[in-house]
A and B are shown apart, each in its own frame.
Chain A
Amino acid sequence: MYGHSHYNQRSPEELLKLFSLDETDLESIRKLQAPLEERLDELVDNWYQWLKNLPEHEEFFTDPKLLEHVQKMQIKFWKIFFKAEVNDDFINMRKRMGETHARIGLPMDSFFAGVDHWLSLFIDMMGELKLKPEEYSQTRRAINKFLHMDMTIIVLSYEQLINETIAAQSKSLMEMSTPVTQIWNGILLLPVVGIIDSKRAQDIMNATLAKISETQARSFILDISGVAVVDTAVANHLIKITKATRLMGCESTISGVSPAIAQTIVELGIDVGTIKTTSNMKDALASAFNKMGLEINEIHE
């Protein structure tokens, strides 16, 4: 349910095949290596002129040292790119780039626009090279495919890192989501918010039973007013939880049953049997106090 990820598992050969990049394409890219290296400093300058007009420039390059470092990395990268050697090293290098983008929160639109600006700089450069028309269009197509393949690796690793972050967050959220609390001697309370699936139901069960054994509680209030839906599976889990607490000598009350939830439970045909339920937490609490022989009174001075 959480943070599903399908990582870019393709091998270099599969990636090339996916983008129909053949040896002719790669060879035509390699032919640009020498002219590119001559012009690279100029192209980088040109690209940063373009970038200066974007708000991202302010955001990411406040530190001149960082800017210099990134420019150096970029020069290094384009030199490798025009070697057009797609192997594991190349793919891993690009994956790391994607992860860096994700970590610094570089927006996809600026990334795509940036790559597109590089592409137009390369196209301008090809124009200066006086290639034959068929060679020109072949090379142009090859660069296109190769750049798109490169972007794909970056985007997939970006997605992967973000999915991992979401999965980790969901996990820690779930771990924090069963705060069974002793609200009075012998009385436990757990307000459940969100969706109950079998994993969460099991967590609730474990946390509750552990707390009962620790505190010798006699009453347990499970408040479901924040639960999105009570379907048969959720009801089944609730029934099991109340049965298990009863075996430990602790009576459960399900509180927070709204009119709509009450109706659906009846229509689903769920037999709530001996489970104690109340429409609000206040009633459940009052009955738990009552059971302990306690009552709450206003203080009259």
Chain B
Amino acid sequence: MLEAEKMARNIGFDPANTIRIKTTVSELGRNILKYAEKGFVSLSHLVDGKKEGIGIEVIDKGPGIENIELAISDSYSTGGTLGLGLPGVKRMMDKFEIESIPGSGTRVYVVKWK
């Protein structure tokens, strides 16, 4: 999370977007701790022409998600929490990809442009 904040600052994100990026990393990171126990978060500095942004990829080898449609809809949770994490992340980021194979793991990739 601190790494994400550093990278976001270096790319030149404003404070509000820096908080969005930190919150996203925290949100996705917590999902790993909660459901999968092991996984990793990798950050990348993206450059597309004049656009600059940050890519956040989160991969775990957890149980996977049975129903992705449900998982990214508001107030759905299998873990007894608010169920707003994934849909919230989707709202905060510019690009949101999720793939999951039940029984073998989940990959979430999000992008925020400056």
- For A264-279 the 0/1 string (1 means CB < 8 A from B) is 1001111000000000
Mask for A237-267, Cβ within 8 A of B = 1, else 0?
0000000000000000000001111011001
**Residue A32 is within 8 A (CB to CB) of chain B in the complex:** no
Query: Is the pair A269, B87 in contact by a Cβ cutoff of 8 Å?
Result: yes
CA of A270 to CA of B27, assembled, Å: 13
Interface size on B, residues (CB 8 A): 20
A236 on the B face (CB < 8 A): yes
Most buried by A among B20, B84, B87: B84
A229 touches B92 (CB 8 A): no
Q: Using A267-B88, A267-B92 as known contacts, say yes or no to A232 and B16 having CB atoms under 8 A apart.
A: no
Inter-chain contact A264/B26, CB cutoff 8 Å: no
A residues in contact with B30, CB < 8 Å: 231, 233
Q: State A169–B19 Cα separation when bound (angstroms).
A: 28
A-B contact count (CB 8 A): 66
Cβ-based interface call for A230 (8 A): yes
How far does the alpha carbon of A39 sit from the alpha carbon of B23 in the complex, in Å? 64
Judge if A168 is at the interface, Cβ distance under 8 Å.
Answer: no
Docked CA distance A235–B27 (Å): 11
Chain B stretch 61-114: residues in CB contact (< 8 A) with chain A: 74, 81-82, 84-85, 87-88, 91-92
B47, CB-defined interface residue at 8 Å: no
Interface residues of A (CB under 8 A from B): 195, 228-233, 235-236, 258-261, 263-264, 267-270
Partner pick for A270 among B15, B19, B22, B82, CB 8 A cutoff: B82
Which of B1, B23, B82 has a CB less than 8 Å from the CB of A236? B82
Interface contacts beyond A229-B26, A263-B20: sample of 6 additional A-B pairs, CB < 8 Å, sorted by A: A232-B27, A264-B19, A264-B20, A267-B20, A267-B91, A269-B91
The 8 A CB mask of B13-25 against A (1 = contact, 0 = none) is 0011011101100
SS class, residues of chain B in contact with chain A:
helix
Q: Shortest beta-carbon distance, A192 to chain B, in Å?
A: 15
- Option from B1, B81, B88 in Cβ contact (under 8 Å) with A269: B88
Cβ–Cβ contact B20 & A228, under 8 A: no
Which residue of B22, B84, B92 is within 8 Å of A228 (Cβ)?
B22
CB distance from A67 to the nearest CB of B (A): 43
Q: Which residues of A contact B23 (CB under 8 A)?
A: 229-231, 264, 268
CB distance from B98 to the nearest CB of A (A): 16
A264 to B22, CA, bound (A): 10
A236 to chain B, nearest CB (A): 5
* Nearest-neighbor residue (CB-CB) of B15 within chain A: A260
Decide: A260 near B18, CB < 8 A? Known: A228-B1, A231-B27, A269-B74.
Answer: yes
Query: Whole-angstrom distance from the CB of A10 to the nearest CB of chain B?
Result: 22
Residues in B whose Cβ lies below 8 Å from that of A259: 15-16
List 8 contacting pairs A-B, 8 Å CB cutoff, sorted by A: A230-B23, A231-B27, A233-B27, A236-B82, A260-B19, A268-B85, A268-B92, A270-B84
| Shortest CB distance A232–B (Å) | 5
Q: Which of B74, B82, B87 has the most CB of A within 10 A?
A: B82
Residues on B with C-beta less than 8 A from A261 are 19
- Segment 44-70 of B: residues with Cβ below 8 Å from A: none
4 residue pairs, one from A and one from B, having the closest CB atoms: A268-B88, A260-B19, A260-B16, A231-B26
A268 nearest CB neighbor, chain B only: B88
Residues of A within 8 A of B84 (CB): 232, 268-270
* Residue with the highest number of chain B CB atoms closer than 10 Å, among A228, A259, A270: A228
Structural contact, B85 and A231, CB atoms closer than 8 A? yes
Measured CB to CB, the closest approach of chain B to A19, in angstroms, equals 28
